[in-house]
Every structure is written in C-alpha cells, then in structure tokens.
Structure 1
Amino acid sequence: MSGGVDSAVAAARAVEAGHDVTGIHLALSRNPASYRSGARGCCTIEDSNDARRAADVIGIPFYVWDLSDRFHEDVVVDFMDEYAAGRTPNPCLRCNEKIKFAAVLDRALNLGFDAVATGHYAVLKDGPDGVELHRANDQAKDQSYVLGVLTQDQLKHSLFPLGDTPKPLVREEAARRGLLVADKPDSHDICFVADGDNAGWLKEKLGERQPNTGGSIVDESGVELGTHTGTVGFTIGQRKGLRIGVPAADGRPRFVLDIEPVSGTVTVGPKEHLAIDHISGIRPLWAGSAPTTLDGSVQLRAHGDEHRARITVSSSTNEPSVEIDLHDVAYGIAPGQAAVIYDGTRVVGSATIASTRRVSQ
C-alpha cells in the first residue's frame, strides 16, 4: 500500500474477494525527506500515514517493511551507475523486478502468504502455458510495460485487482468506500528525486564518480555549438535545456543524438536523425516460455507507442540476447531503456536495450 488511491482500492477488493489481506507499506528511505517531499512520489511520511488510514478504513492489519537498504542498492545505485555509463535506465522497472516482486514477494511467501496484490493496471489470465500478463482494459492507464520484468513464477503469486477498471471509476469507488485518498493526485517522476530535477540530483550524488564534469555540444560534423557541465544532464532524444547559442541553419530544433561519457561530447541534430529501425537487447526476462521468433510488437517507454516488430531470440545460453527489427521506426531510444515485447495484448517478456541502429539518411 503506497498511500495512493490505486493500492487502497486494490486492497479493499482483495478483501471482498475473500482473501485474508495484510497491508504493507514499503519504507524505501531511512530519511524520507531526502528522497521526496509532498504528494508526488511513494517515499514520504505522508504516504505512509495515508496508507495506514486506508488500512484502518478497510479493516486490515498494517505494517511498514523497511527495505531502504535494498532499494538503495538495487534501484538508486543502479540508476546512478547507468547514467554514469551514458545509459538511460527506468528505475520503476527495476523497482518492480528487484523490490516489489522479488524482495517483497520472497518475504511474503516465507511468511506464509500466497501472493502480493498491487494497484498496478494490468490483467492476469490463465493461458495454455500458465499465467499470462495482459494490458489493462483502460489503455490510458495500462502499466503492463513496467511489469514486463516479471517471470512466470512471480506472476503465479501476483494479483492486480484493478486491471479491468478505468481510473475514474476507481476514484469513485474509493470515495464510496470512505477512503480519504480518493482524490489524491497520482505520483509522477522518479520517486527518489526530491524536486524532479534528475540532472541536478545525479550531479550531486555522483560527485567525483561523474564520467565527466563538462564537455562540448557538437553537430554531426563535429562543429562545437556550445558546452555543458556534465553528460549526466542529457539523454538521447532530449530537446529542451540544450542551451545552444547557435541556431540550426534551417531554423529547426535540435535533439540529442549521441552521448559520449568518456570525452564528454554530446552530439545534436534534427529529429529525423533519431529514427531507428533495429534494437539489440540483452538480459531478457520472459513471462513464460521464451520464443524463438515472434511477429509481435514492442513498447520502448512507459507511456510510449507500440511498434510492430519481428523479434528473434538468440539460442546462446552464455549471453542470451534479443534482436528486434522494427516495422515502424522509433525515435529517441537510448541504451539502458527497456523493450517490452507483446503478442497482441499479452506481455511475452522484456530486454534491456544495448544498442540501436539508425535509419540510413
């Protein structure tokens, strides 16, 4: 129970379904104010109090589990390491993989519970090969992308009670149940970045570990257009905040095309030069049996478009990999992001993007 409306209603529905429910709030920082203040994330004292009040209304036991050390090592440090290496990670996927459906689920099973229920918007179905993870009925709130790291063993012990309900109806239900979080705003941004300034947070936390403390912003021919104070402040596809004093010859906006963390060079150019048609992925995770080839689709951002693709899985056992040929080009895709693979509405699995291939200009 994060302290938001979704997990509160999910807990209430689990009780109505006949389950013996215990509410758990995760303490992810020993000093919550150092990660997030206000109602924008899931790491605050206010959120813990909101979750406790919701549990009282529902009538279930409530506990706070301190997973701050594990969260720091598996999510926060990983986030810093990936940016320091010039990649763009998604900490929400890592949190689901390492915390909510690994550390929490493992502890729950050891304590005799059968499953972990959350307020994620996704649907579980029984399939011919086990439990299948599908997109939520409300496409605008679908969160199957951030659950694309779950394995079959984890899905067997998961419940997503909200997957068939549009978000406005969830809020109405919360109000009917007397839950004070009915109108609480949704959380946004990265929960452990206190003010939403990812670049500033990274520079402060990395300190001397930054790959560089400055460098050049250049065009594709290598002409310097400006300077910067650290590549951790950039990501592939970024348009705003480049602070380039020299306008493009055609007057069109420039986008970050490439980041070289060792030299500190950031290359910029027109949007069409961000177009990619192939992705190589590593560290695949499968929701069921791994396919050999699949004509399906991939989603490359939490709220991104779905791209038709042909997916080919390596048969190597030492370094399993995934090759994705896109039928619809994608823009601004960076190494470190996740490619979640779908067959219709069903999540097949996911892979971490290692490299991309630009469309020939």
Structure 2
Amino acid sequence: MNMTPSRHLSGSSVRGTALASAFAAVCLLAAGCSSSGGSESGSDAAPAGQADTPRLKVALITHSAPGDVFWELVQKGAQAAAAKDNIELTYTNDPDATGQANLVRDAVADQVDGIAVTLAKPDAMKSAVGQANAAGIPVVGLNSGIEAWQSEGLLEYFGQDESVAGQAVGDKLDAYKAKHALCVIHEQGNVALEARCAGVKKTFGGETENLYVNGADPDTAAESITAKVGQDPTIDEVVTNSATFALAAVKSVKEAGSKAGVATFDLNADLVKAVQSGDVQFAVDQQPYLQGYLAVDSLWLYKTNGNLSGGGEAPVLTGPAFVTKENVAAVAEFAAKGTR
C-alpha cells in the first residue's frame, strides 16, 4: 500500500518496537498455520489451509453500536483468523460499558479459551477482565484502550495510538492552512475519541474546538454539525471520528453554506469514494480488519505456542496511515472487496 505513515511513529523507541512486533506477528501468521492438505489423510485431518490444532472457543466483545460498518470490518478480520486457526468465534457487542462488561462475564461463565475485548471505557471493564484473569482465561485488547491495556491485565494490544494519530492530523491541517477545526466526538467519554481530538489540538497551529453529538442518533448528530458550522463561519475544517459521520458532515457543511473542508479518522467503502471525489480531504486508516485478525490469531498463538506479540510489553500498532486522493487507488481495490 502506498500510504503515508505518520512521521510521529519513528520518533519513539516503544512505537518502533511495536511496529517491529507487528511485522513479527505477520511472520508468525504465515508460519503458524499448519495445512493438512496433501500431507495427511483420514477423518481427523483439518481442511486445507486450516490449523490442525485442537478446537478453541474465543469471544470477541466490543463496544460497537448496531449497524456500524467499521465493526463489520473488525469482524471479518476476526472471522478470517478463526477459520484459519480452527477457532469457534462468537461476537457480541454493547455500546453501554456496563453491558459490555456483563458480556465479558458471560464469556467467562461460558468457559471460553480466550477473549478479545475493546476498552473504550477502561474503568468500567476492569472488574470483568479481572474475573477472566482469575479464571485463567487469556484476554487481549484491540482498537480502544492503548493507555490502559497493561494496567487492566490484558496480555497484548492491537490498534492505533490515538494520540499519535491525532497529532498527525493536526500537522496535516496545518499543511492545508486551516485555521479553525471542529473535532466531532460521537461518543462522550470514549477514551480513544477524546485522545484523537486532544492530539489534534496538541499540534494544530489553529484553534481546535470539540463538538459532542449523539452517535446513537445520526440524524440529530448531522443537525448539530449543520447548526455549528452555520453559526460560526470561521470554522474551516470539520474532523470526524467515523467514516459514517464524515459522510454526514459533508452534507451538513453544504446545507450550512459553509466552505469548510472535511477530514476523518477511519474509512469504509463509501468513504473511499468520497476521498476519490474530493468530498473528503483525507482519512486516517487504523486498519480494523487487521485489528480483528491479529487479536484472534494472537490468542491462538498464545494458547498453542505461548507467543506474545510485542513480548507482552509493547502494543502492536495497526496505524495511523493517511488515505488521500493521491494514494486512495491502492485502498479502493480492497474496499470494494469489503475488507478495508
């Protein structure tokens, strides 16, 4: 992929270790899959391309709201790893932190072999993760909670450093000569979204203002964006934290008669088209498919071979990388297949 990674990634030895562990994980993925095709016969042989290790049961539990395409990509990656690793995968989700914690407790009661979980609101998840640890069930994190995964007792973490991603966006906005950015947060209290907007504010030379909208009601959220940019003509950039809200922001800006540009964290197939057309200036890709894949595969590697990506000390970074009009063609092929 000809995507430009954030220049902040190279400035930290910890992040460098994390990137190295990401490459190591990929190598392990290639080497760890034992295909029985052509080498074994009999009813116990696994299908070609599938691991012949004992069947495992893994639960993937996220804070996703219903109908979010982003999480469909996470699931697709997780399902691909599960199919390869002879894993029975269950997926559950609840945007309410208490509800998500209860789903973790349900997985513990179900005696799963491993749990992959997001930590959008780490404090609410601590007790449930502790119960999993007490039961001897390995837990890994993905997508949200990069600052909390170790203190919460997780073995590994796969995702984007949201602060670094936000700082990279701040630099990008300076390059666009923006002066007043509106950072739209569709889930108040979500540590990942807050970190992104804080990162933007840290490096952006202009003014950064947060706008909190109701992510559970996209129409109301769009109306809030329309009203805000309509009331303040100095806003010349709208930054959203979801491809869905970026597409809504494009309409909101037009309805308000504003000339503000739109940029976003995360992408999907429709957002790729918006970048191609120029409606959205750029997207920051954290590779959700990869997050789901690595999280599930890491549990298989840990259970079957004792492996810990990053040595259990450093997160495995899956982003950020910019997708712009100049390099979007390299992503479009895979977006059309539904994996980016």
Structure with higher Rg: it is: 1
Per the normalisation by structure 1, the TM-score is 0.26
Per the normalisation by structure 2, the TM-score is 0.28
Q: Which has the larger share of helix?
A: 2
Higher relative contact order (CA 8 A, sep 6+): 2
